[in-house]
Structure 1
Amino acid sequence: MPAPTPERTPATSPETSLRRMGFGPLEIAYDDSVLEPRPWTQAQSLWARELLDAAPAGRVLELCAGVGHIGLLAVHGTDRSIACVDLSPRAVELLVANAEANAMAAQVDVVHTDLARLPLDEERFALVVADPPWVPSAEVGRYPADPTLAIDGGPQGLDVARACIRAAGACLAGDGLLVLQLGTPEQAASLAPDLAAAGLRTVEVRALERGTLVRADRL
Structure 2
Amino acid sequence: MRCVVLPGVYPPQEDTRLLAAALCREELPRAARVLDVGTGSGALAVAAARRGAAEVTAIDVCGRAVLTARLNGLLAGCRIRTVRGDLLSPVAGERFDLVVANPPYVPTPPGPRPPRGIARTLDGGEDGRTVLDRLCTQVPAVLRPSGVLLLVHSALCGVRPTLALLAAGGLKPQVIDRVLIPLGPETRARAEWLLARGLLAPGEEKEELVVIRAQRV
Verify: 1:46 aligned to 2:18, yes or no: no
CA contact (8 A) 1:63 1:164 kept: no
Q: Provide the rounded CA distance (Å) in 2 between the counterparts of 1:47 and 1:116.
A: 21
Q: Deviations over 1:6-33 (max 9, x none)?
A: xxxxxxxxxxxxxxxxx2xxx3111331
How far off its partner does 1:116 sit? 5.5
How far off its partner does 1:57 sit? 4.9
CA contact (8 A) 2:106 2:157 kept: no
Residue number in structure 1 paired with 2:6: 31
Verify: 1:159 aligned to 2:135, yes or no: no
Q: Aligned pair in 2 of structure 1 residues 137, 39: CA closer, same or farther (>3 Å)? A: closer
Q: How does 1:6-155 map to 2 (within 5 A)?
A: 23=1, 27-39=2-14, 41-53=16-28, 55=29, 57-104=31-78, 107-115=79-87, 117=89, 119-121=91-93, 123-138=94-109, 147-155=118-126
Q: Secondary structure at the match of 2:211?
A: strand
Matched residues, percent identical?
25
Residue of 151, 154, 170 corresponding to 1:180: 151
When the two structures are aligned, how many residues end up with a matched partner?
Answer: 185
TM-score of the two chains, using structure 1 as the length reference:
0.75
Residue number in structure 2 paired with 1:218: 216
CA contact (8 A) 2:15 2:102 kept: no
Q: Secondary structure at the match of 1:205?
A: strand
Q: Deviations over 1:61-92 (max 9, x none)?
A: 11111111122113314143210110001111
Q: Deviations over 1:82-123 (max 9, x none)?
A: 10110001111111111111111xx210110112625433x3
Q: Deviations over 1:17-59 (max 9, x none)?
A: xxxxxx2xxx311133112211562231121232134x47530
Q: Secondary structure at the match of 2:4?
A: strand
Give the alignment's Cα RMSD to 1 decimal: 2.3
Residue number in structure 2 paired with 1:20: none
Structure 2 gap ranges (5+): 112-116, 182-208
CA contact (8 A) 2:137 2:169 kept: yes
Residue number in structure 1 paired with 2:195: none
Q: Provide the rounded CA distance (Å) in 2 between the counterparts of 1:208 and 1:82.
A: 27
Q: Secondary structure at the match of 1:137?
A: coil
TM-score of the two chains, using structure 2 as the length reference:
0.76
Q: Provide the rounded CA distance (Å) in 2 between the counterparts of 1:205 and 1:73.
A: 19
Structure 1 gap ranges (5+): 1-22, 141-145
Q: Secondary structure at the match of 1:191?
A: helix
Q: Deviations over 1:134-170 (max 9, x none)?
A: 0011299xxxxx7122000112101211222223211
